[in-house]
Copies of this chain bind each other. A is one copy, B any other.
């Protein structure tokens, strides 16, 4: 059996459209606080979308590295927010993810990124939207959060928690975050995808123009004229919802490039943090801001409190507009305060996301979440000692074809990674996959 994993339990599906795997991770007690430092647990993802087998290795590899970076930070005594930022920087730096380096290009061929971070302890939040010219947008979001914690600015001004565009860039540079020439952010892959998408868009627009012309001619009693589509030589009348042509011109958004990245962290004291970063939709309009920058939508973190028996951290991925309109990160966090985390998340994804009245007109609802929740409890029943333990439950769930995740606790030598897929026959946008596990972290003072 793999190190650190005591059992893998496949749960019976709640319905034919739900797959549920429960991975129970039990920490080896002897290795507890090996370095005597503050430690914890991290769960990351490299996007909810479609991950081909050929790409799987790269996605898993970057998730593994991101987990390691976060754990290294926690072992060095860093805050949960700094650990989650370290994971995100690694994910942003990968050319395979749609965040930071290699982000989708917008209509003008520029990269504009969204990112945000939330600290469960202070409940502070930092976010940037439509930010260009900075290699790691999450580092600006984290810096906004940190500056916000310092209290008011001179003359009683309230520090900003959300900055966009040129102003966000200026603020970052003024706060010592280095500028990055735009040319460096685009990769061979992202530039090639941009060119393919632009060509598809031009073809689609030609077809639309032809359709309008055809309609006009028909209105002028030129019925029966068989104007062929300039793009593909076929009759353009079949273009539209459910039509034939439309698939020819669909951008690469729909499947492969919804790879917003995110991470959730809990440290040994039970402080949680969550972060998210995204290059946004391919060929988006300049200035478009998606869920990754929006409070309650991209990420959420909330330590245990008077009204919360659990600390929770959530990060979302997928179609920004769907995640915004359902305020999905906060919705998941609220739901996780009930007893059964697995059931709560499943119901949220089914009723508050796929079945949301806010998305009633959508053909399919595409998204994914990673969540963790933790609470203090006594040690395992079989243990004779009364050691205080942090119980960490972690889950991922998605309505997209697949989602690539990685997770690691400070006691693991390396991260575990997994590409979660919808069960055979399930329809992306209409079905939910849900998996996860449990991990126990003993308090440092108990070793």
Contacts and interface: CB of A to CB of B under 8 A. Distances in A.
B171 A129 contact: no
Interface stretch (A8-16, A57-65, A179-187, A201-209): A201-209
A154 B324 contact: no
A35 interface: no
Contacts of A253: 156-158
Contact of A130 (B156, B167, B204, B296): B167
Interface in A143-184: 151, 154-158, 160-171
Given A129-B129, A161-B324, A296-B296, A204 B168 contact: no
B283 A167 contact: no
Interface string A280-304: 0101111111100011110000000
A254 interface: yes
Interface stretch (A244-252, A336-344, A381-389): A244-252
B156 A251 contact: yes
A241 B283 CA distance: 48
Interface in A194-237: 197, 200-201, 203-205, 208
Nearest to A128: B287
A330 interface: yes
Contacts of A287: 160, 163-171
A164 B330 CA distance: 23
Interface size class of A (residues with CB under 8 A): 35 or more
A203 B156 CA distance: 12
Contacts of A289: 129, 162-164
A156 B290 CA distance: 17
How many copies, total? Answer: 2
B157 A251 contact: yes
A305 B330 CA distance: 22
A36 interface: no
Nearest to A164: B164
A160 B288 contact: yes
A125 B286 CA distance: 18
A31 interface: no
A319 interface: yes
A256 to B, nearest CB: 14
Contacts of A157: 201, 251, 253, 281, 283-284
A377 interface: no
A155 B324 contact: no
A358 interface: yes
Nearest to A283: B157
A144 to B, nearest CB: 10
Given A167-B285, A170-B286, A327 B330 contact: yes
Contacts of A296: 295-296, 327
A56 interface: no
Given A129-B129, A156-B251, A327-B296, A163 B285 contact: yes
Contact of A162 (B169, B205, B283, B324): B324
A3 interface: no
Contact of A288 (B162, B201, B281, B321): B162
Contacts of A203: 155
Given A157-B284, A160-B288, A162-B289, 17 more contacts: A122-B361, A129-B129, A151-B241, A155-B197, A155-B200, A156-B253, A157-B201, A157-B253, A157-B281, A157-B283, A158-B281, A158-B321, A162-B290, A164-B164, A166-B166, A166-B287, A167-B285
22 contacts: A122-B361, A125-B325, A129-B289, A130-B164, A130-B165, A130-B167, A155-B250, A155-B251, A156-B249, A156-B250, A156-B254, A160-B287, A165-B165, A165-B167, A166-B287, A168-B287, A169-B287, A171-B285, A295-B324, A296-B327, A305-B357, A327-B330
Closest 3 CB pairs of A and B: A167-B287, A165-B165, A167-B286
